[in-house]
Structures are given as C-alpha cells and as structure tokens.
Structure 1
Amino acid sequence: MLTFTVVAPKGGVGKTTLTANLGGLLRDFGFRVLLIDADVQPSLSKYFELGHIASYGVTKLVSEGFLTRDCISTVRLPFGEGGFKGVAELDPMPDIDIVLSDTREGKLQDWLGQRLDRLVRISMALNQQAVASAYDFTIIDTQGALGHLQDAAVNAADILISPVTPDVLSAREFIDGTRHLIKRHEEAANMGFKVPAMRAVINRTENTRDSREMSSLIREGYLQMRGRVSTVQTAIHSAVAFRKAATARVPVHWIDPQRAADAMHMLLWELIPSLQGVYAPNHRNHGVPAPVFAEAVMESSGIGLQ
C-alpha cells in the first residue's frame, strides 16, 4: 500500500480538491482507495456523496491506533446518472472508502498533545496487515496549519503532495511555511522518525505573465530546500471544470475528460511513474494496458514495501 499525505502550511490552496480528484482517478484505474480526512474543517468529508456513513471517524482511528469497519464510510459515485461522458465505460466497483473528520472542536489535537507517541498514531493504524492488504492507495487530507494531527499525517506518508497557488503572497508564505514544516520534521528524524519526500504541485495556474513568473519563483524557492522538495512539471490550471466537479460531487475527469483529465493523468504519472501511459477507461486514449498494482508501483518509485 502506498500512502500520500496532501499537506500545506496554509489553507485555500486546493488540498481537498487535489485529494478527491487523485482518489477518484485511482479508483477508476481499478485501484482500491482509502481517503482519510484529517482536517478539523471537514471539506473532504463533504466532497463526495456518501453511500454509507460509519458510526465513527478519524478520532477513533487516531485514538485507538486501529482502523476498524465502524470508522469506514463509503463514497457513492453517481454511475448511470447525470449524463457524464464515458462513465458507462467505468466499473462501479471498487467503492472509495473514506474515514470522515469528526474533530471540529479540537479535542483530538488536545489529546494528541499529551501523547508521547502522537507522531505514529495514524501510521500505526495504516501499517496493520489487514489495512495494507485491503487497499492499494491511501490519501490523507490535512489542515492548513501546523499541528499534532498534521504531524501524524505527515509521518504516515510515503510521499507528501504539497499544492501551492502562483500568487506572490501565497508563494512567499508557502515557501517559508514549507521550510518550517520540513525543519519541524527533520527534528523528528533525529529521533528515528522518517521525513517523506515532498512533491510540490503548482495549482490553479492561469495563462498570464504574473502566473508564469510566480510559478518560476516557486520552483526556484524549492531548489533551496536541500533536496527535500521537488516540483512536479505538471501544473494544474485554474478551470471551471474543477468547480463543476465539486458541485456535482464527482472526480473532475468525469466532468472534463479532455483538458482537466489530461492534467490529472500527467500529475498521477509523475507521482507514480509506473502508471505512465495508462488511462482511465473513460479517457479517449484508453487502450489495452492494465493498471500496475501497488507493489510494482512502490518499487518503481523507489519506496520500500511495508
């Protein structure tokens, strides 16, 4: 199982949108996907329509250190509804499973603050053999601020995905905040904890001079972070399709199977190189190659099997 944590030192940069759309695309490739909403403002929990709502959520997962069935809700995607182009080509199985956020009052953050093992509370749950064998990918959405819950989500990741928007204030704040986040986790590395590699994604770009200049500034800023951060080449453009997808509560490649779908495929190929050239069944270029399963994905990405 490969775990991504989507993280940023500030809110409003598109973490939840990226999480939901990567999860939806991986599902349509045929992979078994688990989403975890580790944000105290539960945006991911509201992105998709739910077919089953579990009795518990992220609070029980973290506090018990186990993922049990009563924490797992399921996403209901509207197959056969809405007239989405090409969706008839998709297999309605497997479901996307999701652990919902239920920690708005901050009680979980307070509880974690008193625990010496707070960094490993999520990884403990995901490293169970039953979980690792049930899912190919886990994607964790996080809050837009530093905190104990974000720290636990970072520690659980194999790869960090960090979206940043190309405007001058956000870019400067983001680079400074990312430096602080990396320094914070390098201190944890001194105690034997891992510091996952971070892949920065320039999100919501526009075809303007300012946007291109800010994208260059962001790429140059990350080069100064001692190899801890690399920027993917794929930039995600600001497109109305993403807003339409959120309104319809479906992945964006259902709404726009061309430009937005192309961008999400290219991003996924950069994050998981062994999937290059593989398309979702509703994509115009879908052909014969079958999805590569998680073990081969992890080997080609240089990540050891758990």
Structure 2
Amino acid sequence: MRVVSVVSTKGGVGKTTVTANLGGLLADAGLRVLLLDLDSQPTLSSYYALSHKADAGAYDFIALNLAMTAQIISRTVIAGLDLIASNDDQGRLSTLLLHAPDGRLRLRNLLGNFRTYYDVLLIDTQGARSVLLEMAILASDFVLSPIAPEMLAARELQRGTLKLLSELEPFRHRGIPPLPLRLLLNQVNAIRVDTRMIIHSLRETFAGTTNISVLDTVVPDRVAYLNAASLGLPVHRIEPRQSRERRSPSALETMQALAIELFPEWREAISSVSRCVEIR
C-alpha cells in the first residue's frame, strides 16, 4: 500500500480538492483507495456521498487504536473509494498525541491492518503545524504539497512545510528516512506574467535537489473543480474532454498526468480511465 500525505502549512491551497480528485481518479482506474480525513474542518469527509457510513471515524481509529475496518471505514458512492471520516471537531487528537509516548508514530504503527486491503492511502491534513500533521507525514511514503503560484505561498513553503520536514529528519534514527516532497502547482492562472515567473523560479530553486521536486503536472484554476465539488463527483468525470475555447488539457488529462507522475507503476491502469469515462 502506498501512503501519501497531502500537506501544506498554509490553508486554502487546495489540499482537499487534490486529495478527493486524485482518489476518485485512482478508484476509477481500478485501484483500491482509502481516504483518511485528519482535518478538524472535515471537508473531505463530505466531498462524496456515502453508500455506507461507519459508526466511528479518525478519532476512534487513532485515539483508541480502533483498527477494525467495519467500525471505522465508510464507503463512498465511487466504487473502490473508501473513507475514514474526520470526527474530531474539537481538535482533541493533537492534545492526546502530544502527550502519548508513540504520538508521532501512532498512525505508522496502525497501518499494517490496511495494507492487504488497499493499494493507496491518501491523507488529507490540517493547514497548520501540529503533532497530527507530523504523525501523518511520518506514516507516509512521500508528501504531496499543493502550492499556489504566488509570492506569499512560495514564502510560506520555505518557512512552513520545508522547515517542518527538516525538523522531522532526526526520525531517520528510528528507521524513517527523510521523505520525498512533491510540489504540485495548483490553481494556476497561466495568463498572469507573475505566475509564470514564480513557477520558473520554483523549478530553478529545486532543480537537482535530491528529495524535493516540482511536478511537471500543473493544475489550472478551472471552474470544473468547483462544479465537481458541488456535484460530489471526481472532476475527471465532469470534464473528460478538452474545451474548444481552451488550449490547456482537460481535467481528465490533468488528473491522469498527476496520477501517473506520482504512481508510474500503475500507468496502464490510469491511462485506461479515459475509456471508462467515455462509457459513462
């Protein structure tokens, strides 16, 4: 099972949108996908309608070590896409984990129960530094960080997400190597000159960096993503074809490119989603 945390210490960069749509695309590719909502503002938990709602959720899973799948896993209406919903609206988990001996490693220790059931676990996290965020990162194979191409977001990346990852490096002494960071340019308006300059600067900054890379895939600022969220559907089902008015790729092409870049081992399955969408 591949485990990916979608992370940014800055709010409003589109973490939940990326998590929901990436999960939907991978599920339509035939992969078994589990979403874990660790945000106390549970937007991901309500993105998709549920065909089955579990009695418990993320709080019970982590605070009580409740790993019985029938009790904590909800089924979405998207075949192959399951969810552990957020139910920690008072933010109790962070306080609990801060004082627990295994706090930052608890999720990592709990995931063994899921590895035979799922191909991918996508974790949606809070938009602020917390022990809960650190726990999610330390449980992951790599970190995906959406970043808006604007100067304030670029500055926050340096003093927020990058600083956090560097401070977690001592966990290599516990057998957890420094995690790869994948930066995803998100909500991009390619017309703006300053946007192109910031994108170029980011790519130059991290060129040749071992553990940090700026993905080739760029997610445009598109109304299709808002429409998909309103309808509770993956965006690739809303916009499977390129618009005649735009030269940029369709949402389907964008999400496929992102999924293949992150999970090249499943390229063939991901590429076949276009045929599934046409059938729908």
TM-score, normalization by structure 1: 0.82
The 1:72–1:286 alpha-carbon spacing in structure 2 relative to 1, beyond 3 Å, is closer
**What's the counterpart of residue 37 of structure 1?**
37
Shift of 1:191: 4.3
- Of 175-184 and 33-42, deviating more is 175-184
Query: Is the 2:40–2:88 contact (alpha carbons within 8 Å) kept by the matching residues of 1?
Result: yes
Give the alignment partner of residue 159 of structure 2, picking from 155, 173, 176: 176
Distance in 2 (alpha carbons) for counterparts of 1:282 and 1:33: 15
TM-score, normalization by structure 2: 0.89
Give the alignment partner of residue 212 of structure 1, picking from 196, 201, 208: 196
**What's the counterpart of residue 12 of structure 1?**
12
Identity %: 35
Which runs of 5 or more residues in structure 2 are unaligned?
242-249
Query: Is the 2:240–2:277 contact (alpha carbons within 8 Å) kept by the matching residues of 1?
Result: no
Give the alignment partner of residue 179 of structure 2, picking from 196, 208, 214: 196
Distance in 2 (alpha carbons) for counterparts of 1:18 and 1:275: 18
Query: Is the 2:108–2:138 contact (alpha carbons within 8 Å) kept by the matching residues of 1?
Result: yes
The 1:24–1:250 alpha-carbon spacing in structure 2 relative to 1, beyond 3 Å, is same
Distance in 1 (alpha carbons) for counterparts of 2:173 and 2:205: 25
Query: Is the 1:23–1:35 contact (alpha carbons within 8 Å) kept by the matching residues of 2?
Result: yes
Q: State how 1:1-306 maps to structure 2 within 5 Å.
A: 1-68=1-68, 69-77=70-78, 93-94=79-80, 96-128=81-113, 131-208=114-191, 209-223=193-207, 226-258=209-241, 259-279=250-270, 283=274
Query: Is the 1:280–1:286 contact (alpha carbons within 8 Å) kept by the matching residues of 2?
Result: no
SS in 1 for 2:56: coil
Distance in 2 (alpha carbons) for counterparts of 1:124 and 1:220: 37
Q: Deviations 1:183-236 (Å, cap 9, x if unpaired)?
A: 221133344433321111011111222211111122233348x52211111111
RMSD: 2.0
Q: Deviations 1:228-262 (Å, cap 9, x if unpaired)?
A: 21111111111111000000000000100121110
- Of 215-224 and 261-270, deviating more is 215-224
Query: Is the 1:65–1:124 contact (alpha carbons within 8 Å) kept by the matching residues of 2?
Result: no
Distance in 1 (alpha carbons) for counterparts of 2:235 and 2:266: 19
The 1:136–1:106 alpha-carbon spacing in structure 2 relative to 1, beyond 3 Å, is same
Q: Which amino acid aligns with 2:84?
A: V
Which runs of 5 or more residues in structure 1 are unaligned?
78-92, 288-306
SS in 2 for 1:51: strand
Distance in 2 (alpha carbons) for counterparts of 1:184 and 1:16: 25
Distance in 1 (alpha carbons) for counterparts of 2:34 and 2:163: 29
The 1:76–1:286 alpha-carbon spacing in structure 2 relative to 1, beyond 3 Å, is closer
